[in-house]
Structure 1
Amino acid sequence: MDRLECIKSMVSRCAAAADVGTDHGYVAEMLLNDNICERVIATDLNEGPLKRATEYLTGISLDQRCDFRLGSGLTVLEEGEADSIIIAGMGGDLIADIIETSKNIALAAKELILQPMTAADKLRKYLTESGFVIEDEKIVKEYHHYYFIMKAVPGHSDKTDEIYYKFSQHLILRKDPLMMEYLKKVIKTNENIISSIEKTGNREYNEKIKELQNKNEKIRELMSN
């Protein structure tokens, strides 16, 4: 399953979905073609991508079921207007900022489908500390890159071990094969860093080595539980 297909699979059937930062409009196309939602509000901060999406979706006769809006983040939405809000293909920090800037809009939706390109750990931490529960999470791999797709819903999150900000609790508990592969890769990367540091013979880096060894130990514990 590729990244966009996985995003689509996480969206619950609904009346309206908002595709924030729609770019080419591919997610909107998939949602409408599969009748996952009746209509899509396709938004983008920049005129170019929105124009591309408008032309593309018009060309495949889906524009009648789309509302195209130019603007920043969730500011172009009304409270409760979108049942599902999709924010994909941006950094985790930026996604958190978008949600925080229009938190009333985010909290009025039934679900948020989020796919950070970077800083997934910061996004998980933000969500769990800001009135959302991460209900589910999936992982996909494309061209040696691992992507995490989260479904968050309004609610209170119980306090959790901070390691689960770094590594998805849902995927670890499910022993997701791709997640296990990802964790092994993290361990291997850390081991390579340790090996490189040890070759320098610089004792100033002993603390760094210890830190990486502790991280690997913790990851192995997660994998074996």
Structure 2
Amino acid sequence: MNRLECIKSMVTKCNTVADIGTDHGYVAEMMLNDNICEHVIATDLNEGPLNRAIEYLTIKNLNLKCDFRLGYGLMVLKKKEADAIVIAGMGGELIADILEVSKNISKESSQLILQPMTTAEKLRRYLCENGFKIIDEKIIKEYHHYYFVIKATPGSAEITDEIYYEFSRHLIEKKEPLMMEYINKVLNINEKIINSLEKTNNKEYNEKINCLKQKNNRVRELMSN
């Protein structure tokens, strides 16, 4: 399963999906062809990508099922206009900003499918601290990179351990093999950093060394449960 297929698989069947930052329109095409939804609102901040999506989806004879809009994030949507909102291929902090700027829209959607390219931990923290609940996650690997697809809904979430911002609780509890692979990679990187800092014999690094050791020990505990 590739990144776009994973995003599509996380959307519960509904009437209208808003594809924010649609780019070429590939996600919109997949959802319409697989009958995940009846209608797509395809948006983009820039005219170039939006025009590419219009051209591509017209060639695929799907343009009549799409509404194309130019603008930032969810600002082009009306309240409850979209049953599901998909925001993919952006940094986690940018996704959080898009949700925050249009909180009146994001809080009215029954499902948010979010795929951060970076800083997934900051997006998880934002969601949990701002009235959203993460209900599922998937992890995929493409070209040696690991990507997370987060499904969230409006609601309250109790985080018992801040480590779950960095390492998905859902994926750890499912003991997803790819998640275990990802965690082992992070642990190995941390161990290399610890070894490198310890060799300097610089006391200024002691706090960072201890922090990394504690984090690694906590993650190993989670993996062994």
Which TM bucket (shorter chain)?
A: over 0.9
AA matched with 2:55: E
Q: Which residue in the other structure is 2:151 paired with?
A: 151
By how many angstroms is 1:44 displaced? 0.1
- TM-score normalized with structure 1 length: 0.98
AA matched with 1:178: L
Distance 2:207 2:116 in 1: 31
SS in 2 for 1:40: strand
By how many angstroms is 1:206 displaced? 2.1
SS in 2 for 1:79: coil
Deviation track 1:190-213 (CA, whole Å, cap 9, x = no partner) reads 011112122223232222211111
Q: Which residue in the other structure is 2:59 paired with?
A: 59
**1:115 partnered with 2:115:** yes
Q: Which residue in the other structure is 2:31 paired with?
A: 31
**1:179 partnered with 2:179:** yes
**1:83 partnered with 2:88:** no
AA matched with 1:68: F
Distance 2:196 2:7 in 1: 38
**1:168 partnered with 2:168:** yes
**1:195 partnered with 2:195:** yes
Distance 1:186 1:162 in 2: 16
CA RMSD of aligned residues (A): 0.9
Q: Decide which moves more: 26-35 or 123-132.
A: 123-132
By how many angstroms is 1:188 displaced? 0.2
Q: Decide which moves more: 207-216 or 195-204.
A: 195-204
SS in 2 for 1:128: helix
Distance 1:30 1:11 in 2: 11
Q: Which residue in the other structure is 2:129 paired with?
A: 129
Deviation track 1:115-170 (CA, whole Å, cap 9, x = no partner) reads 01111111111111111110100000001111000100111112431111111000
Distance 1:95 1:160 in 2: 24
Q: Decide which moves more: 158-167 or 175-184.
A: 158-167
By how many angstroms is 1:100 displaced? 0.6
SS in 2 for 1:53: helix
Distance 1:191 1:159 in 2: 26
Distance 1:222 1:3 in 2: 26
Deviation track 1:43-102 (CA, whole Å, cap 9, x = no partner) reads 000000000000000011110100000000000001011000000011111101100111
Distance 1:209 1:99 in 2: 35
Distance 1:214 1:159 in 2: 19
Distance 2:15 2:160 in 1: 34
- TM-score normalized with structure 2 length: 0.98
AA matched with 1:104: N
Q: Which residue in the other structure is 1:139 paired with?
A: 139
AA matched with 1:95: I
In structure 2, the gaps of 5 or more residues are: none
Distance 2:18 2:113 in 1: 10
Distance 1:106 1:69 in 2: 17
In the comparison of the two structures, how many residue pairs are matched?
Answer: 225
Q: Which residue in the other structure is 2:210 paired with?
A: 210
Distance 1:48 1:200 in 2: 50
Q: Displaced runs of 4+ in structure 1, greater than 3 A? A: none
Distance 2:28 2:56 in 1: 11
Work out the percentage of aligned pairs sharing the same amino acid.
69
